Amino acid sequence: MLLIPCPFCGARDETEFVYGGDAGVERPRNPETTTDEAWTDYLCFRDNPQGMHRELWFHRDGCQRWITIERDTRTHELGAVRLSRS
């Protein structure tokens, strides 16, 4: 069970959070002019790295902010953490 250092609340158990996936995925700014390929890239295709992963978590049982953290997907070593909207 991870201990996730919420930038606002401090370190809390993983069970307080909801995972939101790859933080690097960007929603196309102009969906209507985006190709099917680029749009479905956004919807479905992921890097899925073995190593550092920048990802989103929602602190459901705490500050209710979405946060962005860096985590090694093999060891769960953590890197930088920030509020997604800041």
The token pair at 59 is 């602190």
The nearer residue to other proteins, 63 or 81, going by C-beta atoms, is: 63
The residue behind tokens 């909801």 is 18
# residues near Zn ion by CB under 5 A: 6
Selected binder of Zn ion within 6, 23, 56, 69 (CB under 5 A)? 6
CA distance 81 to 60: 16
Do residues 20 and 50 lie in contact, with contact meaning Cβ atoms separated by under 8 Å? no
Adjacent-strand bridge partners of 83: 67
| Residue span binding Zn ion (CB under 5 A) among the ranges 36-44, 45-53, 60-68, 78-86 | 60-68
Residues forming the site for other proteins (CB under 8 A): 1-3, 8-10, 12-16, 18-23, 27-28, 31-32, 34, 36-37, 39-41, 43-50, 53, 55-56, 58, 60-66, 73-76, 83-86
